[in-house]
Amino acid sequence: MARQAQVRAADVADVWQRFKESQDPKLREELILRYASLVKYVAGRIAVGLPRTVDFDDLLSYGIFGLIDAVEKFDPRREVKFETYAIARIRGAILDGLRSTDWIPRSVRQKARKLEETVAALEGRLGRAATDQEVADALHISLEEYHQLLSDVQATTVLSLEEAWSQQNEEDGLRVRETVADPTSEDPEERLAHQELLDELAQALDRLPERERLVITLYYYEGLTLKEIGKVLGVSESRISQIHTKAVIRLRAHLSSV
């Protein structure tokens, strides 16, 4: 079994080498087909936080463009796995596609922005993560209304971290996926941007309540779905979704305030 895996790995490396040397369209197609499952994987994870009105086939279409871009730009000589590089490009292409359709109502964006600004101001004053009741009080709404608000703005968290960083660095055109997608870049400015992003995210993560930090870690770093995280923690998927939304709002508030 291990021998077969080694042979397959050698075959893939050979295809990459021949494609980069020749730019043969047939080899490009072979690589795209080989890694097509990554598109469905990324689209599936993003779809969890989207309303049912968003067509999953549209996500796949956006993602395919990201995969093609990844195949074209990937350098096999770098010390980074193609899957890691491609997932970032695929996710970025899907988010760009969603953003271009302006699928989130303006009223929902305004709610999310007000919530983010309130959390940033409140936690800046407290010097710690605010409780649900404290956030609700700051918004002058009941706890029940606050939980409904989290449900209302859940869809915006799909783009939240991407937009927070890109807005902060709009002048330089930096994007989260661009700094994360190629950490081995030879460009000193890109490497610096990558490290700055990691530092900011690390600081923001450290400030999260323990359960929120765990959900973010399991979802973004371990690759578990919200449903799987719910089983691990013994709570419903909807509860995990709410925790995820709160965590992303806090992270976005932190990244927007630095």
pLDDT, tens digit, 9 for 90 and up, residues 107-146: 988 999 999 999 999 999 999 999 999 999 999 999 999 9
What is the DSSP code (8-state) at residue 129?
A: P
pLDDT, tens digit, 9 for 90 and up, residues 85-103: 999 899 889 988 988 887 7
Cα 137 from chain centre: 30
Are 177 and 130 contained in the same domain?
yes
Cα 201 from chain centre: 12
Domains held by the chain: number: 2
Are 110 and 95 contained in the same domain?
no
Are 81 and 159 contained in the same domain?
no
**Segments forming the whole domain that contains residue 234:** 106-257
Are 128 and 207 contained in the same domain?
yes
pLDDT of residue 188: 60
Q: Which residues of 43-73 are buried (b: 16+ CB within 10 A; e: fewer)?
A: bebbbebbeeebeeeebbebbbbbbbebbee
- Report the mean per-residue pLDDT for the chain: 82
Percent of the chain with pLDDT over 70: 79
Distance, CA of 98 to CA of 59 (rounded, Å): 8
Are 127 and 246 contained in the same domain?
yes
- Boundary of a domain, candidates 101, 126, 160: 101
Cα 179 from chain centre: 13
Q: What is the CATH number of the domain that holds 197?
A: 1.20.140.160
Contact status, residue 92 vs residue 177, Cβ threshold 8 Å: yes
What is the DSSP code (8-state) at residue 138?
A: H
Cα 235 from chain centre: 23
Are 89 and 139 contained in the same domain?
no
Are 73 and 133 contained in the same domain?
no
Q: What is the CATH number of the domain that holds 19?
A: 1.10.1740.10
Are 94 and 134 contained in the same domain?
no
Burial of 99 (0-12, 13-18, 19+ CB in 10 A): middle
5 pLDDT exceeds 70?
no
Helix, strand, coil percentages for the chain (3-state, nearest 5) = 80, 0, 20
Are 118 and 229 contained in the same domain?
yes
69 pLDDT exceeds 70?
yes
Are 110 and 97 contained in the same domain?
no
Residue 167 pLDDT class (50, 70, 90 cuts): very low
Residue 192 pLDDT class (50, 70, 90 cuts): low
Q: Is the pTM of this model over 0.85?
A: no
CA dist 44 → 1, 39, 56, 57, 229 (Å):
30, 8, 8, 10, 15
Are 116 and 240 contained in the same domain?
yes
User: Which of 131, 154, 114, 138 is CA-nearest to residue 239?
Assistant: 154
H helices, E strands: number in the chain: 14, 0
Percent of the chain with pLDDT over 90: 47
DSSP notation for 192-228: HHHHHHHHHHHHHHHTS-HHHHHHHIIIIIS---HHH
Question: What are the helix (H) ranges across 23-103?
Answer: 25-34, 37-47, 56-73, 82-101
Residue 103: what residue type? W
Are 111 and 55 contained in the same domain?
no
